[in-house]
Amino acid sequence: MWGPLAWTAMMIFVSEAVITSHKFDLATSQNVTQYQEMTSASSKLMCVKECLKHSWCDSFAYGSARGECFLQVESETLLWIDDDVKVYRVRSLCNPSDVDHTMFNVTWRQPGLEGDIRCNDDDYMYSGDSPTIHCKQPGLWITDGTCRQRIWRNTQASDRHPFPRTISPGWAMCVRGVSCTACDKFSFNLRNDSQYVVHVDVRFDFSNSKRILYLTSNVNGWLDGTFVGNFPFDLGEPFEVELRVSDWNTLEV
CA distance 21 to 92: 6
* Domains identified in the chain, total number: 3
134 three-class SS:
strand
Cβ–Cβ under 8 Å, residues 187 and 199: yes
C-alpha distance across the termini of the chain, in Å: 18
Nearest-CA neighbor of 207 among 235, 227, 176, 239?
235
Q: Are residues 120 and 187 in the same domain?
A: no
Q: Are residues 188 and 243 in the same domain?
A: yes
Strand (E) or helix (H) holding 198: strand 195-203
81-104 CB burial, b ≥16 within 10 A, e <16: eeeebbbbbbeebbbbeeeebbbb
Q: Are residues 132 and 180 in the same domain?
A: no
Q: Look at the pTM and tell me if it is higher than 0.75.
A: no
Per-residue pLDDT tens for 145-170? 788 898 888 877 677 888 888 778 88
Q: What is the mean pLDDT of residues 60-68?
A: 82
Structural domain span for residue 30: 22-92
- CA dist 131 to 73, 117, 122, 149, Å? 37, 5, 16, 16
Does 11 fall in a domain? no
CA distance 95 to 113: 12
Per-residue pLDDT tens for 114-148? 677 788 888 998 888 887 777 766 656 677 778 88
The CATH number of whichever domain residue 190 belongs to comes to 2.60.120.200
Per-residue pLDDT tens for 76-118? 555 554 566 777 776 666 666 667 777 776 655 455 566 777 8
Q: Which amino acid is at 136?
A: K
